[in-house]
Amino acid sequence: MTKRILLGVAATALVIVAAYADFYVAPTERTMGLIQRIFYFHAATAWAGEMVFFVCFVANLMYVWKREQKYDWLGVTCAEVGVACITIVLITGPIWAKPVWGIYWTWDARLTSTFVLWLLYISYLLLRTLIEEPSRRALLSALFGIFAFLDVPLVFFSIRWWRTQHPAPVIMGGQGSGLDPTMKKVFYFNVLAMHIFCAFLIVERYILEKLRHDVDLLQREAEVQ
């Protein structure tokens, strides 16, 4: 219990410091000005979300292989936390875009891929509600999760091949891209903070899932008596 509280406090502290850094440490960007600061929160959340979905993928593989419930719990946990992250990405993105591009949305490579990613994991969660038997639900959603994750890079490359309007990648881009060193540090700190915060959410949500399982067991025991 204390470890949980410690993680929660650390996560909250990191996130607050990160927000402070976003506003007061990072220099103002030349062309976009103040609105660019959304980038730190937006992109860091996107990275954390993608990492969370990767953990979901691994959990799905482990479940299919080992059939241990804990992997199913981890899978649904990561899917929910991931969806929360991507929801935020899809909301903060357009908030940034309107002043900068003049439009809220465009069907370019990154936006469309992110939207499809969001749809895939919403589908994963929906699928789970439509299968009642726990072990069947765990297996089928794990299988769908595997196919969904395999699809993610394919979605991205297919749409990037199709068109591009998102600003040229600043972190892992080609020639002519790159961040001011202070901005880079602030960004990576945000990435760290968001990863720790997501870890905290994962722990709490996982415990909830385990608790659900305990309640089911106890209910069955109570019925027997």
- Span from 51-59, 137-145, 169-177, 184-192 in contact with other proteins (CB under 8 A): 137-145
Q: What's the one-letter identity of residue 224?
A: V
167: helix, strand or coil: coil
Burial class, 214, CB count within 10 angstroms (exposed 0-12 / middle 13-18 / buried 19+): exposed
The number of CA neighbours under 13 Å toward the Cβ of 124 is: 31
Asked if 179 interacts with other proteins (CB under 8 A), we say no
- Span from 35-43, 51-59, 174-182, 184-192 in contact with other proteins (CB under 8 A): 35-43
- Span from 68-76, 81-89, 168-176, 179-187 in contact with other proteins (CB under 8 A): 81-89
H or E segment at 73? helix 69-101
Asked if 69 interacts with other proteins (CB under 8 A), we say no
Query: Is the Cβ of residue 172 or residue 222 nearer to other proteins in the bound state?
Result: 222
Asked if 155 interacts with other proteins (CB under 8 A), we say yes
Kindly write down the DSSP assignment for every residue of 95-127, as one continuous string: HHHHHHHSSS----HHHHHHHHHHHHHHHHHHH
CA distance 22 to 214: 42
Among 21, 59, 138, 201, interactor with other proteins by CB under 8 A: 201
Asked if 204 interacts with other proteins (CB under 8 A), we say yes
Put residue 198 in one of left, alpha, beta given phi > 0 → left and psi -120 to 50 → alpha: alpha
Enumerate binding residues for other proteins (CB under 8 A).
Answer: 19, 33-35, 37-38, 41-42, 45, 64, 80-81, 84, 87-88, 91-92, 95-96, 98-99, 112, 116, 119-120, 123, 126-127, 130-132, 136, 139-140, 143-144, 146-148, 150-151, 154-155, 157-159, 161-162, 197, 201, 204-205, 207-208, 211-212, 214-215, 218-219, 221-222, 225
